[in-house]
Amino acid sequence: MTTAFIAHASCRLHNMGPHHPECPERLDAVSDRLIASGLEKHVAHYDAPAVTQGQLARVHDQDYIAMIEAASPESGICYLDPDTAMSPHSLDAARHAAGAVVLGTDLVLNGECRAAFCAVRPPGHHAERRRAMGFCLFNNVAVGVAHALAHGLERAAVLDFDVHHGNGTEQIFAADPRVVMVGTFEYPLYPYSGVDPAGPNMHNVPLRAGSGGEAFRTAMSEICLPALEAHRPEILFISAGFDAHRDDPLANLQLTEADYAWVTRELVRIAERHAGGRIVSTLEGGYELSALGRSAVEHIRALAEL
């Protein structure tokens, strides 16, 4: 069964200003490397739909959604906080970024694809129920999880290996025993959270600056992966941020492409045991373009078991 690669042209048009690290070229880095690697012919390409209001409202308050819509500028850039901004195409991009994860969820649940990777921006895992932050407008992975639960699934899981803690995802699901969230992040580092879990279903491991693959794999093997096994998720979501790479300028962890490939293979095994192989992964961080492209393609290669 094939692996889906989901994207949309609007995500390339979202622009938060010159020199912003969360730039349109990030998507080019992934797609160009996918072609250069020869993997492009091994994935099924899909255009992301726009998320619906009802799908967003499962994880965001209606007044927050209305605020984001009202903030969308006709020209120029509107800053929601010092790091997070909207340009005229940002709202459309955010709707399609969230819609990509909905489509990925549908594809794996109906058996059309075994796994899906969503090459989208803006990212989402910092977006809280009522707050945009950390380059994120809508919480894409949370929208996908909620969509899966709305289909009647009883257990879902999120693994987040972005270098920054996925505070938004944690806030949205901390009180929901159907969802387990696991992952690693550098601490102390933005958003300076995650050390004290918001609920018993949260199993996130802070790593010190300078930590490399050995510390990452230990945290995954001893804490994160066992928590997933114990939960037995019927579908597995990945917040795939590649900014823990040793070349990334925004953080201080020392992971390599091999580490991302290793953890993805481990997740594929867990998904095969408990979820019929169903995995939906969505792009979060990763700001050194070459490292991002290489890491994302090794992640996709492992998802596709190639």
Per-residue pLDDT of the chain (306 residues; tens, 9 = 90+): 799 999 999 999 999 999 999 999 999 999 999 999 999 999 999 999 999 999 999 999 999 999 999 999 999 999 999 999 999 999 999 999 999 999 999 999 999 999 999 999 999 999 999 999 999 999 999 999 999 999 999 999 999 999 999 999 999 999 899 999 999 999 999 999 999 999 999 999 999 999 999 999 999 999 999 999 999 999 999 999 999 999 999 999 999 999 999 999 999 999 999 999 999 999 999 999 999 999 999 999 999 999
Instruction: Report which secondary-structure segment, H or E, holds 22.
Output: none
Class of residue 214 by CB neighbours under 10 A (exposed 0-12, middle 13-18, buried 19+): exposed
Its domain, for residue 267, covers: 3-303
Q: Which residue has the tokens 């010159």?
A: 18
pLDDT of amino acid 1: 78
Residues in CB range of 204: below 8 A, 6 or more apart: 160, 165, 166, 170, 181, 182, 183, 184, 185, 194, 197
Instruction: Kindly state the tokens that stand for 106.
Output: 């549908």
CATH of the domain at 220: 3.40.800.20
Distance of CA 113 to the CA centre of its chain: 18
pTM: 0.98
DSSP state of 143: H
**Distance between CA atoms of residues 194 and 248, nearest Å:** 21
Counted domains in the chain: 1
Of residues 169, 157, 98, the one with CA closest to residue 129: 169
Helix axes 90-109, 62-71, angle to 10 degrees: 130
Catalytic annotation, residues: 126
pLDDT of amino acid 291: 98
